Amino acid sequence: MTPDLMEQGARRLRALTEPNASGKTESGGREAGFARIAQAGEVDIAHGRILYLEGVSVSFDGFKAINNLSLDIAPGELRCIIGPNGAGKTTMMDIITGKTRPNSGTVFFGSTIDLLRYNEFEIAQMGIGRKFQKPTVFEQLSVFENLELALKTNKAVKSALFFKLDSAQSDRLAQVLCTIHLASDARRMAGNLSHGQKQWLEIGMLLMQDPKLLLLDEPVAGMTDEETVRTAELFISLKKHHSLIVVEHDMSFIERISEKVTVLHEGSVLAEGTLAQVQNNEKVIEVYLGR
Ligand code: ADP
Ligand code: MG
């Protein structure tokens, strides 16, 4: 064999056995298709959904935290998830973001990306952003620097030191500052912001990556009434361009933002519909609202 042919053969073998640049192995067919779609920054939403869970279950020490859960989110939708403590809301987000692996079931991003094949980092890179309950901004840095830092996917010190925003990124940063109502606070140290402003900043950091789907776990907990109203406006302004899944207990907030509400109970969907519909549902009143 010529060295050329040997090299070709070795390359083909590597392509089959090693993760490629996007971290996935190529086995042809559907999977190779996923990689192409993810790289192009496009999620296949031809079937009218950005996220699709079916028959998902996960147990912790024999306890079923998620039990045969099925859920469908449309592109641009703002879905509210409510339910009693321990219903599995956070665990559901852990599954979508790759933090927890289910024991069974399917989880698809668009109609072609099987999320169960990817790790947390890859899932975030594909455009699923997650906001945890507690704000985790860099307190010693300014608002501007926090947003700037959110663009750095390569956390190596050297590349962080020499990182410069290009003009598209500068524009995006300015736009995000306005969206999160912090344009006049850009130079303030994040540690000096109010609790609500820190939450917005963290949402802004997610927005810098222009995620297709945003998962927000109890975003208005601890906010003042005014901050809560502003957050509702913020979320309403984000939908359509982004899809959002919002877990919240604050019913006045849900009322402001909700289109479709899903009630989780014991790891599965108890009811789904408009807020009025689920509020009048006997089962929902019994396990959640009535208490
Ligand atoms: P919610 O967010 O709706 O309040 P969670 O998803 O946090 O509910 O929890 C659902 C159930 O699963 C709870 O009973 C919780 O104790 C349990 N649980 C969640 N994560 C774990 C874990 N990593 N190990 C063991 N049990 C867990
Ligand atoms: Mg929770």
Domain ranges for the chain = 127-258
**86 in ligand 1 pocket by Cβ < 6 Å?**
yes
> Residues 73-129: pLDDT tens digits?
999 999 999 999 999 999 999 999 999 999 999 999 998 999 999 999 999 999 999
Q: Is the predicted pLDDT of residue 12 greater than 70, yes or no? A: no
What is the structure's pLDDT at 288?
A: 86
Q: Cα–Cα distances in Å, from 33 out to 36, 37, 60, 84, 111?
A: 5, 6, 34, 39, 11
Q: Is the predicted pLDDT of residue 171 greater than 70, yes or no? A: yes
Which residues are CB-contacts of 177 (< 8 A; sequence separation ≥ 6)? 143, 144, 147, 183, 186, 204
Which residues are CB-contacts of 127 (< 8 A; sequence separation ≥ 6)? 41, 43, 109, 209, 210, 211, 212, 213
**267 in ligand 1 pocket by Cβ < 6 Å?**
no
Least confident of 22-31, 80-89, 167-176: 22-31
| Contact indicator for 57, 103 with CB cutoff of 8 Å | yes
> Residues 189-235: pLDDT tens digits?
999 999 999 999 999 999 999 999 999 999 999 999 999 999 999 99
Return the percentage of the chain with pLDDT > 90, whole number.
71
Question: Can you tell me the distance from the alpha carbon of 287 to that of 265, in angstroms, rounded to the nearest whole number?
Answer: 8
Q: 21 CA distance to ligand 1 centroid (A)?
A: 35
Q: At the topology level of CATH, where does 127-258 sit?
A: Rossmann fold (3.40.50)
Q: Which atom number of ligand 1 is nearest to the Cα of residue 267?
A: 10
Q: Parallel, antiparallel, or unpaired: how do β-strands 51-60 and 243-247 relate?
A: unpaired
What is the structure's pLDDT at 152?
A: 76
Ligand 1, atom 14, residue with closest C-alpha: 86
Q: Which atom number of ligand 1 is nearest to the Cα of residue 92?
A: 6
What is the structure's pLDDT at 136?
A: 84
Q: 266 CA distance to ligand 1 centroid (A)?
A: 10
Choose which residue among 60, 103, 131 to substitute to test ligand 1 binding: the one with the highest number of ligand atoms within 8 A of its C-beta.
60
Question: Residue 58 belongs to what H/E stretch?
Answer: strand 51-60
> Residues 239-287: pLDDT tens digits?
999 999 999 999 999 999 989 999 999 999 999 999 999 999 999 999 8
**91 in ligand 1 pocket by Cβ < 6 Å?**
yes
Ligand 1, atom 25, residue with closest C-alpha: 60
**Widest CA span of the chain, in angstroms?**
77
Predicted TM-score (pTM) of the model is: 0.83
Question: Can you tell me the distance from the alpha carbon of 39 to that of 46, in angstroms, rounded to the nearest whole number?
Answer: 17
**85 in ligand 1 pocket by Cβ < 6 Å?**
yes
What is the structure's pLDDT at 291?
A: 55
Least confident of 23-37, 147-161, 178-192, 213-227: 23-37
| Contact indicator for 242, 214 with CB cutoff of 8 Å | yes
What is the structure's pLDDT at 161?
A: 59
Q: 218 CA distance to ligand 1 centroid (A)?
A: 15
- Best CA proximity match to 113, nearest among 234, 32, 55: 32
**262 in ligand 1 pocket by Cβ < 6 Å?**
no
Question: Can you tell me the distance from the alpha carbon of 112 to that of 89, in angstroms, rounded to the nearest whole number?
Answer: 24
- Best CA proximity match to 39, nearest among 15, 52, 53, 20: 20
Q: 143 CA distance to ligand 1 centroid (A)?
A: 33
